[in-house]
Amino acid sequence: MTEIPKEHPRYESLMMREKIVEGFNLGITSQQGLIAQGRGESFDYLISEHTTECAACAERAAVAFLLLAERPVISVNGNTAALVPEKIVALADVTGAKLEVNLFHRSEVRMHKIILHLKAHGAGEVLGKNADARLPLEHDRGKVDKEGIYNADVVVVPLEDGDRCETLVKMGKVVIAIDLNPMSRTSLASHVTIVDNVTRAIPNMLQFAKDMKQNTTEDLRKVVDCYDNNKILSSAIYEIHERLMNMAVERGIEWI
Ligand code: PTJ
């Protein structure tokens, strides 16, 4: 890993790159995952690389859905495994969710390496290898475990593709997406859209889960019932718009 000085103004962002590159070198992250990270970076820039108020609200609601769920599952791909292995394992632990590796660019070698990587970071059982059930999808993301995603009632999908997200919604599952692009198909199709970097979203969700774990079912239900994803998406887009306007003014661009 390249040494990045802590005082570098882009420290967090550069460290994320290092982790993704390390993930790639370990055979966890796909080549395409490197490109996806770049796409995420540009959207992260537009939200000032911080957790916005609406993202925090979505993260809290997501945790309430997870704690109320009967069969919650957190889906893990190559990017998530490289960026937040420890925290995603801890989140599954606190919420009682199962972990399932599900890859767009699936290979048995990568599946195996990601499962080992999660286990090295404290995971118990990690699903995904059996692939004994099939979602109605042409590509490999349709290969799932019967005891995991296939029968789940609530699924968390970080860095998802639109097809599978829409399929999971059609199957009647509550889908929680983590996606920095508030206008992606995934973001629009999900029940809860967290417009935040997975590196902030998962630790925030873990903290919410620890804080809310003792809440009554009634209290959790209140959080879920008053959640409005359309409001969250429109706030996310509004925040991007405002940030761009403010930046332009700060940088001396005159509006004509
Ligand atoms: O590991 P695999 O084989 O399953 O492949 C996974 C990738 C990430 C390659 C695959 O899912 C993919 O192609 O993803 P996309 O469509 O490039 O990215 C999905 C969304 O995630 C995009 O809207 C990105 O802006 C967003 N994104 C990228 N990095 C992050 C992110 N969202 C949150 N946190 C990030 N770090």
CA of 198, closest atom in ligand 1: 34
Structure tokens at 173: 């599952």
Q: At 111, which CATH number? A: 3.40.50.12640
Residue 42 resides in a domain? no
What is the torsion angle, in degrees rounded to the nearest 10, for the CA atoms of residue 5, residue 9, residue 10 and residue 14?
A: 0
Cβ of 202 closer than 6 Å to ligand 1, yes or no, is no
Residue 33 resides in a domain? no
Protein residue whose Cα sits closest to atom 20 of ligand 1: 159
DSSP characters over 178-245: E-S-TTSHHHHH-SEEE-S-HHHHHHHHHHHHHHHTTS-HHHHHHHHHT--HHHHHHHHHHHHHHHHH
pLDDT of residue 155: 98
Residue 214 resides in a domain? yes
Q: Is 172 exposed, middle or buried (0-12, 13-18, 19+ CB in 10 A)?
A: exposed
Q: Say how many Å lie between the CA of residue 253 and the centre of ligand 1.
A: 32
Cβ of 148 closer than 6 Å to ligand 1, yes or no, is no
CA of 180, closest atom in ligand 1: 32
Mutate to test the pocket of ligand 1, among 46, 159, 193 (most ligand atoms within 8 A of CB): 159
pLDDT of residue 79: 98
Protein residue whose Cα sits closest to atom 21 of ligand 1: 159
Residue 147 resides in a domain? yes
pLDDT of residue 6: 85
**How many structural domains are present in the chain?**
1
pLDDT of residue 17: 94
Query: Any idea what DSSP says for residue 8?
Result: S
Residue 95 resides in a domain? yes
To 5 degrees, how large is the angle CA 23–CA 72–CA 119? 35
Structure tokens at 103: 């890859």
Mean pLDDT in each 10-residue stretch from start to end of the chain (256 residues)?
80 91 97 96 94 97 98 98 98 98 96 98 97 93 96 96 94 98 97 98 98 98 98 97 92 85
Residue 138 resides in a domain? yes
Cβ of 180 closer than 6 Å to ligand 1, yes or no, is yes
How far apart are the two ends of the chain, measured CA to CA in Å? 46
Q: Are 4 and 14 in contact (CB under 8 A)?
A: yes
Domain assignment of residue 158, given as a range? 53-237
pLDDT of residue 88: 98
Residue 30 resides in a domain? no
Residue 140 resides in a domain? yes
Q: Are 40 and 195 in contact (CB under 8 A)?
A: no
DSSP characters over 76-145: E-HHHHHH-HHHHHHHHHHHTPEEEE--SS--HHHHHHHHHHHHHTT-S-EE-SS--EE-S-SSGGGEE-
Cβ of 103 closer than 6 Å to ligand 1, yes or no, is yes
Strands 98-101 and 174-178: unpaired
Cβ of 42 closer than 6 Å to ligand 1, yes or no, is no
Query: Any idea what DSSP says for residue 149?
Result: G
pLDDT of residue 151: 98
Protein residue whose Cα sits closest to atom 6 of ligand 1: 33
